[in-house]
Structure 1
Amino acid sequence: MNILNWIYPLFWKIISVQVQVEEGILEGEVVANQYGNPFFSFKGIPYAEPPLGDLRFKAPEPKNPWKGVRNAKVHASNCFHYELFTNNTEPTIGSEDCLYLNVYTPNIVPVHPLPVMVWIHGGGFISGSGDDNAYGPEYLIRKGVILVTLNYRLEILGFLSLDTEDIPGNAGMKDQVAALRWVKRNIRKFGGDPDNITIFGESAGGASVSFHVVSPMTKGLFKRAIMQSGTVTGWLPHTFRPREKAIRLAQDLGFYSNDLKEIYKFFINQPVENLYGKEVRLSYAASSKESPNFMNLFALVSETQFGDKERYYYGDAYDLVRNGMHEGVQIINGYTEDEGIIYFSAGVDVERLFDQANKFVELFVPLPFTRETPLTAQMEIGRRFREFYLKNDTASKDNLDDLLRYFNMELFSFSAVSMQKLVAKRVGDRSYLYKFTCKSELNMFSSATGLDGLFNYRPVTAHADDLGYLFPSSTTIDMKSNAFKMIDQLTTLWTNFAKYGDPTPDDSLGAKWLPFTSTNQEYLDIGEILVPKTFPDKEEIDFWESVFQEYLPQYVP
């Protein structure tokens, strides 16, 4: 008999529970779980000093100890952000004092330390938080793992770079590193195993996980990594001409100077209200193209060395995966079936998009070519891509799937498969690839972004639709329903990987997920049932690689 079966009623009477971490005492609580046993919840735990004043844009400082008992029953402030998929640029909530994490554990005194899963939220490095209104533990904690969620600085406050010692860039990623270091030091106090930590995330969070796999600052902080719809080999997570972008931002805010020190002083003294909800498009082509705002985000940069300060990321992404990836880290990486639906969100005028697709072949030029090839080459590249996807048809709602397939590849799918191919060439590294195709009432991205009318001709699995199978929404799901069966299936795969390094260690799920190899390119189709397959999206991948081989061969894995 599990001792917790009779201890839990006692905790319900106690309600509060205290844990001693390095910085002081935390008081959390026991929380009911309608999908399983109650769990211990500790929210709003500071993992670094607030990045205020001169710490704005800098790497976070370790948290100073506090006196007495700190209340850990409520979430702390989110980082300043705006809602990515609406036209509302007002922050929902936010503060510069926002470096907090949350720990949810099924048992603070287990017989054996529990596997730990650290979730890094997405949102285009623009929006989101680790709060349980979006990322609650109820599904995952049923599987005997500890869940940690966290906040990190976003957009300008988190990712502005002047390429100077004052604003080197990647502050938001260094926040994540500080959180991982805190977890490594303290998770044993919550019943966790500091030597069995899996980091996982989706979209910008998935890309973050992928960057951590190659960052010199994160070696030894985790054992496994799950990248959902985001990789270091993608193009969106890399800032194009970051210093120029920062200078343009200052100009947009009314400050004109080429003196980098003066520009830094300007930014450090700006009210925080001026440092979110800003979109900076550097080229005329980018300004004219009908595209969502996340295509021009503030994101990661390759850092310059300043004295003895740690650099989070530097070099070329493909080279780092080939030669700089952490040895022995096991990986799951994948994407959803209809990732490209996200392109039609975030302020895009769909009719204008159709018009541009029909008039200008440049709409079909993938991002690296727009930055690294001359216009004459771009015109030919765009012609080839439009012909491949649209043939001789006119872009419209009638053939929307053809345009969607292009955006699937440009935004996520091609870079995910490229990452797998690079990892597969490394001796001794094991990785798994998936394509997520589940369809149920849990798939809510299209309706949440007002696109359900546009994509009403078939069920879709859009970007972020996998989240509903990992984290609960406000709607209660019948545990006997088909939707909950898929929840149980995905959470079992993810937690098996966290526990054993193998998502299907036995035959209980009815399929064996084989590691990806260069020979067969194995992957798992995660739908209502699990279907092992080979060579994902082969025709499209082969075509993309052929064009890259001709013009930018460095992007061919």
Structure 2
Amino acid sequence: MLVFVLFILFCECAFGHDTAVEVDTLDGVVRGYKEGNINYFRGIPYAQVDENNPFADAHPYPHFDEPFVAYDDSVICPQYSGGIKGSIQCLRVNVYTPHDAHPGQPLPVMVFLHGGGFYEGSGSSKDWTPDFLVKRNIILVTVNYRLGPYGNLCIPNTKYNNQGLKDQVLALKWVKRNIGKFAGDPNNIVLFGHSAGSISADLHLLYNNEDLFNKVILQSGQAVTTLINDGTPYKTYAKDIGMSDENIDVDRFIQKLSSINVDTYINNTKHYNFRPCIDGNFITSVPPRKNKQNIKIMVGATDKEMLFLYRDVTSFKSFDFITELDRAFTESVVNEKNIDMIKENYDIKQKNEDKLKDLTIDFGSDLSFNYPTERSIRYYLQNNATVYRYVFKYDGDRNFVKKREHITWPGATHGDELGYLFDIMSSNKITDLHVVDWICLLWTNFAKYGNPTPPPTSHELPITWPPLTATTDNYLQIDKHLSIVNGPYKARMAFWDSFYQQHGQYAKGISLA
């Protein structure tokens, strides 16, 4: 039986908290605090980076000889986000539990991987306030992982690849090993994420052979998205430091990079793209076939994903289709004939700028999100997984990215659903709270039961959301009302089916056949 040690210490503690909570983990005692009905354990180190070689694999953090005071999660990984931020010893997790959680009744665990394009973001409670989810009687864990050049250097045929993903594996192992001491169920772990976090979760689902989770929620990001195919080659960094020869000595290259101050190197590479890569080891071009009959997946996107990513386009009449298609295919496919075919299919030849914008957003959303979702769903169904699909269309006061970026165009864009999962919005309008309740209940039901709408139906969730099958394509549409709809974007997906049948062998990235 898992041993759970919980001490309530009444004291004048740092940060103004007067109730400390201690958990005796397998890695030593962790001291958090109670606030309201939630126990907060912030900034627990799960792994350590070698500061003499910050591009190498991290190692599990040593055992705590003294109680680790987990009151502060301000440490984030090095990044350029409105300025240079972070430090290299950043591999931390945050654990949030209901205050009355007890090991005799272990709770489902939801491990969240943040987005940010693999170059920015953190698992900080400042960004991902846990209240909405934890009050539904689950345990929430958020994760820091290395970003930018330290997380995605990607030198083929070496050990210097996908370090951010490897960090996530170490975090999942920490959760699997220790979460029982926090009254979590180590055999009921949901891995979920948004954008880069969702892509990461999908990559772990495809490639990781360890029993670290049994459910996955993929929010706006698939392993086969076109958005991870444009990473800056490492030889570009080599030229920056005077190593322009074709056969670069990897050891000398890493030694030179490691000698550069972290802040300096983040600043020097802030305009480059950093992505996971096919390294032939952690990620192969074709995933190994695995029977996923014990895996349950929830997957979805917003209805206007690329509205946010196209927000700086000044005129859609001169939109750069070449660059977009180049992310997905090799140059043999990127030609005017195929661009004209796409424009004709989406009717992107009209003069009305507003209509043209909407159609172009649909094209981009299909190329980078909707069709990758189709491909992934088919693959997972073929491998016997249980799959639930949603489309988030609600355009309300908590639409996170639209409000942050002052976007007024109708629809829900990339990241908008996050304001309904985490209390990260300043608005508390009553019109949005019912959507908060819907989404948090669907997500936590999935965590508890593997079914987002278990019977019986209720006033709070008056709907039954069926899983997909090989012959049915019913999905949940989250809008002003919850509804079950058949086949999102059928005609548009049929076009991409045809396009991939003709050009799929030239597609970049991971192949799902």
Give the alignment partner of residue 299 of structure 1, picking from 256, 275, 281: 275
Q: 1:362 offset after TM fit, Å?
A: 2.5
Q: Partner letter of residue 145 of structure 1?
A: I
Instruction: Using the TM superposition, give the Cα deviation of residue 267 of structure 1 relative to its aligned residue in structure 2, in angstroms.
Output: 1.6
Measured after TM superposition, the shift of residue 327 of structure 1 is 4.8
1:407 match: 364
Which residue matches 2:253? 263
Q: What does residue range 19-418 of structure 1 map to in structure 2 within 5 Å?
A: 19-32=23-36, 38-54=37-53, 56-83=54-81, 88=82, 90-91=83-84, 93-106=85-98, 107-167=100-160, 169-216=161-208, 219-238=210-229, 245-258=233-246, 259-261=248-250, 262-276=252-266, 297-304=273-280, 311-316=281-286, 319-320=287-288, 323-324=289-290, 326-345=292-311, 348=312, 350-351=313-314, 354=316, 356-357=318-319, 362=322, 365=325, 367-369=327-329, 371=330, 373=332, 378-394=335-351, 396-418=353-375
Kindly state the Cα deviation for residue 364 of structure 1 after the two structures are TM-superposed.
6.0
Per-residue deviation at 1:24?
1.4
Q: 1:505 to 1:278 in 2, by over 3 A?
A: farther
CA contact (8 A) 1:524 1:531 kept: yes
CA spacing shift, 1:493–1:166, aligned 2, 3 Å? closer
Structure 2 vs 1, CA of residues 395 and 249 (structure 1 numbering), >3 Å: closer, same or farther? farther
- Give the whole-Å Cα distance in 2 for the aligned partners of 1:450 and 1:484: 21
User: Partners in 1 of 2:20 and 2:8 — Cα distance?
Assistant: 12
- Counterpart Cα distance in 2 of 1:162 and 1:398: 43
Secondary structure of the structure 2 residue equivalent to 1:236: helix
Structure 1 CA distance for aligned equivalents of residues 279 and 352 of structure 2: 41
Change (3 A) 1:441 1:69: same
- Report deviation, 1:473: 1.8
Look up the match of 1:289. Answer: none
> What SS does the aligned partner of 1:503 have?
coil
Residue 425 of structure 1: how far off its partner (Å): 1.9
Q: Distance in 2 between matches of 1:158 and 1:433?
A: 30
Contact kept in structure 2, 1:336 and 1:435, CA below 8 Å: yes
1:220 aligned partner, one-letter code: D
Give secondary structure in 2 for the equivalent of 1:408: helix
Residue 166 of structure 1, CA deviation: 4.9
Structure 2, unaligned runs of 5 or more? 1-6
Q: Give 1:249 deviation, angstroms.
A: 2.1
Identity %: 29
Partner of 1:286: none
Q: Which moved more, 1:438-447 or 1:22-31?
A: 438-447
Task: Give distance in 2, aligned partners of 1:139 and 1:154.
Answer: 27
CA-to-aligned-CA distance 1:14-69 (integer Å, 9 cap, x gap): 6001111122111110012xxxxx11110110001134212x11221011112212
Task: Report which stretch shifted further, 465-474 or 157-166.
Answer: 157-166
1:461 maps onto 2:450 in alignment: no
CA distance in 2 between partners of 1:440 and 1:356 (Å): 31
**1:271 Cα deviation after fit:** 1.8
Paired position in structure 1 for 2:498: 546
Distance of aligned partners of 1:532 and 1:465 in 2 relative to their CA distance in 1, 3 Å threshold: same
Map 1:384-533 onto structure 2 (within 5 A).
384-394=341-351, 396-427=353-384, 429-452=385-408, 455=409, 459-475=410-426, 477=428, 481-506=430-455, 507-508=457-458, 509-533=461-485
- Secondary structure in 1 matching 2:402: helix
Which amino acid in the other structure matches residue 137 of structure 1?
P
Q: 1:250 deviation in Å? A: 2.3
Deviates more, 1:14-23 or 1:254-263: 254-263
The secondary structure found in structure 1 opposite 2:38 is strand
Contact 2:55 2:254 in 1 (8 A): no
Per-residue CA shift, 1:102-136, capped at 9, x if unaligned?
00000342541010000000011011000011111
Kindly provide the amino acid, as one letter, of the partner of residue 69 in structure 1.
P
The corresponding residue for 1:4 is none
User: Structure 1 residues 225, 339: closer, same or farther in 2, change over 3 A?
Assistant: same
Deviating 4+ runs (over 6 angstroms):
7-13, 554-557
The code of the aligned residue for 1:303 comes to: D
Q: In the alignment, is the contact (CA less than 8 A) between 2:397 and 2:403 conserved in 1?
A: no
State the TM-score, normalizing by the size of structure 2. Answer: 0.90
Against the structure 1 CA distance between its residues 178 and 190, is the aligned structure 2 distance closer, same or farther, given a 3 Å change threshold? same
- Note if contact 2:386-2:468 (Cα within 8 Å) is conserved in structure 1: yes
Q: More helix per residue: 1 or 2?
A: 1
User: Displacement, 1:161?
Assistant: 1.3
Find the aligned partners of 2:324 and 2:58 in 1 and give their Cα distance. Answer: 40
Distance in 1 separating the partners of 2:220 and 2:422: 16
Change (3 A) 1:249 1:66: same
Q: Check whether the contact 1:79–1:151 (CA below 8 A) recurs between aligned residues.
A: yes
Does the 8 Å contact 1:381/1:547 carry over to 2? no
Quote the Cα distance in structure 2 between the aligned partners of 1:120 and 1:341.
23
Q: Quick one: distance in 1 between partners of 2:80 and 2:203?
A: 24
Structure 1 residues 354 and 277: CA distance shift in structure 2, 3 A: farther
Aligned length in residues: 493
Contact 2:101 2:183 in 1 (8 A): yes
* CA 1:11–1:186: 2 relative to 1, 3 Å: farther
Instruction: Verify the 8 A CA contact 1:116 1:198 in the aligned structure 2.
Output: yes
Equivalence for 2:3: none
Taking a change above 3 Å as real, the CA distance of residues 407 and 39 of structure 1, as seen in their structure-2 partners, is same
